[in-house]
Structure formats: structure tokens, C-alpha cells
Amino acid sequence: MYKVLLVDDEYMITEGLKVLIPFEKWKMEVVQTANDAEAALEYIKNHSVDLVITDVNMPGMNGLEMIAQMKASLPRAAFIILSGYQEFDYVKTALNLQVADYLVKPVNKLELAALLEKLSKNFEQSSDQQLERVFQDESEEEDIASLLEGKERLWLGADVVPKGFSSAPYRVLDRTLYLFLSSQRGGAVYQEEFAAPYKKQLQSFKVNLEKSLFYGTVSLQETDPLFSYYEPVYRVIIQGNIAQILEELDLLEDIVLRSTPKVSITKQLFIQFIMDVYHLFEHLKPEDITAIIREIDGMNSFDSLLVYIKLQLSGLFDQYRMNENVASVLEVIGRDYQKELSLKDISQELYINSVYLGQLIKRETNSTFAELLNKQRIKAAQQLLLSTNDSIEDVCYAVGYSNVGYFYKVFRKLCGKSPKAYRRQMD
């Protein structure tokens, strides 16, 4: 309800307006009456109002002087002036103060009703425009709470067209949708009940909206970090068993759909998956890697992502089988990367010359044994950085490095950024 303050030194005027004018028809409520300007100014020190209806001629401070002072405290309020006679100087001053209207007593009920109808629409429009600030990142929690004060049950939604009593465009997954506030549920691409803390829920809503568009569903249950599932998947990949790799892809699909993590996390996971397979089965050029990452980053749905991954794997598996000795080396690296590993020790276990084994590894993977070990350790470090709050030093030691400085050097070389920067990118 819009709040109305009546000010007139004649008691019968204020009481008569309260009785004769159906303010509630225009969503208005008389919250206070005052018999002089001083009392009215005292009231607004602690109370906000939307409309002030006041007489001009009152003992002490007149209505125009009162309005001039009220403007500082009530910058968005509307003012209606009542007067027993129409005098040019009063009208001129009223116009300068930008009052809504100047009415001559006795007040014409129809004239006042038309004016209140107009003001009610202006209030509603102004209120809706103010509510757009809810969607702005710079708005503080207190500001949002103030804007929504008096609003009962609210729904925050997104749709292809503006809806509700306030809306704002929002870009997500290369689409423009409209975030909106409504007092009713339904008729939206995605919708949630909106309650404090508002800023936190708005951020959560944006994440869930993206999930809804990408996966077609949203899981609101807390789940284990997605990358915690990847270690056993990688062990299957390095064995080079094509059938098992495809089975692991189906397992990842099921896990992702049950947990619906942030879209950026899922894309990062599948980039890692496809890159791991490619590194094992063919020589990748830098431009190939860039193209794969760009393709996956541009995916707007989980289904299209899976189709792309499966097509890539199908084309790759049709033309390549890995040397079993190289596969054995990769299996050892994947299983024991935290330990001290050497090509010489592994070659002895496989009963093969270490130089020849090194040549096989280089030919099959386009990497040396040391490079493969570093890649696996850094891969494991990436998972820990994204799925735990462990310190950088703890991550370094956990993946098999004993020198933090060397770990930073290798990580930056392979990832293009420091461990700290890599962790921050997923916030």
C-alpha cells in the first residue's frame, strides 16, 4: 500500500478526506494526519510516505514552505496542494516545487479521484523501475531488502520475454533471457521462490538457471566434488581398453546428471577426459588442442557435449591401438605417480631395454617418460585444486613433488598459469 500523509489545520478536512475518499481503491492508505507543518515534518523524520496532501494556509509555516523542506527527506514523494482560493503566486511556487497538482477547495471528488488514479499508476511504474536494481551486481543486500519491503511471497524467474512486475535482460549460454520478479509461480523457463539473503540466492539462481538450460535438470542436493570421481576413470583410460573407456564415459554421464555441477566444472572435466584419451592414442598439435577446448567451451547443452565427445572417440578408436608395453608404462604412472618413478625401474619390471622403451613411449605418445609423469602429476594437482581446500604446498607433496618451486614451474609450463590462478578461475 502507498502511504498517504494528510496535513490541514482544519480537523474536519483531514477526517473528511479519510472518510469520503476511498484511498484503498488506488492501493493507498492514510497513515497519519497532522494539523500543522511542524507536526508533519516531525512525523517524516522517522516515517516514509509516498503522497502528501496539504493545505497551503496554515498557522506558522505554510504548506509550500513545508513541501520545500520535505523534498530533501522524501525525494520520490508526490504532493497535492489544497487551497481555499487560487492565487497566482501560490500556483507559481507550487509549479516550481513540481507538485502533482493544485486543487481549490471545496475539493471536487471526481477531480481528486482522477488525480489519485494517475498517481497510483506513476507509483507503480516508478516502483517497478526501482526494482530493476535487484538484478544489478552492485546493489547491496540492504538495498534489495529495502526495495522489496512490503512485498509478500515473491518468485524469481527467467524467460525468453520480459515478465512479472520487474525484469532485466541476462545473457547465459549464448542466449538472452529475462530475469523477472513475480508474485505468481509459473510460465517461466526456470523459477525459484525468492527470499533473503537476496544477493546469495540471486547468484545461486543464475548458476541453477545455467544448469537447467545445459542439463535439462537441476540437482539441489549437496554432492561430492566431481573431480573425486576422475581418478579411477583415468586409470581405465591409461590401460587403453576402448570398451572400458566408453563404459567410463557412460558412468561420468550418469554422475554428472545426478549431481549437475557448475557447467564450467563439467566442461573442464570433459576437456580433461578427451585430452587424456587423445594424448594416449595420437599425437596432438597445439592447434588441435585449442580447437577441442574451444568446441567444448562453446557447448550449450550436455547432450551436444556428449555427442561431440563420442564422435571424437569413435573416430579415434577406429584407427588406433596402443602398444601394450606403452600402455603398461602409462598404467604404472597413473597408479603410482605419487612415488619415485624411473623409466629404468619400470623397464626392468617389463623385461625390456629402457632405451627402446623410451623410444616406444616417444613414438606412441609424442612425449618422454618424464613429460608423461609430469603431466599425470599436474593433472592430479588440478583435481585437488578444484575439489579440495588443501594448500598449494600440500597439493605439491600429495602428487609426488618434493620441491614446491619446481612444482610451480612445471604447473605454469603445462597449464599456462600458476596453481593459485588455476584455482581462482573456477570460483
- Write down the mean pLDDT value for the chain: 83
Between CA 104 and CA 110, with CA 106 as vertex, the angle to 5 degrees is 85
Tens digit of pLDDT for each residue in 353-380? 999 999 988 887 778 999 999 988 998 8
Q: Of the ranges 140-144, 185-189, 269-273, which one carries the lowest mean pLDDT score?
A: 140-144
**Predicted pLDDT of residue 122:** 76
Tens digit of pLDDT for each residue in 170-182? 999 989 999 998 8
Domain spans in the chain, listed from the N-terminal domain onward: 2-130, 136-215, 219-322, 324-427
Single out the residue of 107, 115, 10 nearest to residue 57, CA to CA: 10
Considering the four listed CATH numbers 3.30.1360.40, 3.40.30.10, 3.40.50.150, 3.40.50.2300, the one that applies to the domain covering 2-130 is 3.40.50.2300
Q: Of the ranges 159-168, 231-240, 250-259, 261-270, which one carries the lowest mean pLDDT score?
A: 231-240
The mean pLDDT of 328-336, rounded to a whole number, is 87
The mean pLDDT of 138-156, rounded to a whole number, is 80
One-character DSSP codes across 259-314: H---HHHHHHHHHHHHHHHHHHHSPPPHHHHHHHHHHHHT--SHHHHHHHHHHHHH
Any residues with CB less than 8 A from the CB of 249 and at least 6 apart, and which? 273, 306, 309, 310, 313
CA 357, CA 56: separation in Å to the nearest integer? Answer: 101
Single out the residue of 242, 249, 252 nearest to residue 327, CA to CA: 242
102 phi and psi angles, rounded to 5 deg:
-125, 110
CA 382 to chain centre: 24
More confident residue, 246 or 407: 407
CA 243, CA 314: separation in Å to the nearest integer? Answer: 11
Q: Is the pLDDT at 221 greater than 80, yes or no?
A: no
The grid coordinates of residue 338 equal 605419487
The answer to whether 199 and 141 have CB atoms below 8 angstroms apart is yes
Domains 2-130 and 324-427 share a fold: no
Tens digit of pLDDT for each residue in 264-301? 889 988 888 888 887 766 555 667 778 888 899 999 99
Strand order in the sheet with 175-182: 166-172, 175-182, 154-159, 190-194
Q: pLDDT-derived band of residue 427, with 50, 70 and 90 as boundaries? A: low
Any residues with CB less than 8 A from the CB of 282 and at least 6 apart, and which? 316, 320
Q: Of the ranges 83-97, 207-221, 311-325, which one carries the lowest mean pLDDT score?
A: 83-97
Tens digit of pLDDT for each residue in 49-78? 889 998 888 888 988 889 889 988 887 788
Q: Of the ranges 40-44, 147-151, 385-389, which one carries the lowest mean pLDDT score?
A: 147-151
**Predicted pLDDT of residue 94:** 58
Tens digit of pLDDT for each residue in 74-90? 877 889 888 776 664 56
The grid coordinates of residue 364 equal 606412441
Q: pLDDT-derived band of residue 209, with 50, 70 and 90 as boundaries? A: very high
According to CATH, the superfamily of the domain at 324-427 is: Homeodomain-like (1.10.10.60)
CA 38, CA 253: separation in Å to the nearest integer? Answer: 71
**Predicted pLDDT of residue 120:** 84
Q: Is the pLDDT at 127 greater than 60, yes or no?
A: no
Q: pLDDT-derived band of residue 230, with 50, 70 and 90 as boundaries? A: confident
Q: pLDDT-derived band of residue 334, with 50, 70 and 90 as boundaries? A: confident
Region at 173 (left for phi over 0; alpha for psi -120 to 50; beta for the rest): left
CA 224, CA 274: separation in Å to the nearest integer? Answer: 22
Q: Is the pLDDT at 398 greater than 90, yes or no?
A: yes
pTM of the model: 0.52
Which own/partner pairs from 230-235 qualify as long-range (CB within 8 Å, at least 24 positions apart)? 230/269, 230/272, 230/273, 230/383, 231/380, 231/383, 233/273, 234/276, 234/334, 234/376, 234/379, 235/331, 235/334, 235/335
Cis peptide before 162 (omega within 30 of 0): no
Ranges 31-35, 179-183, 324-328, most confident: 31-35
**Predicted pLDDT of residue 5:** 95
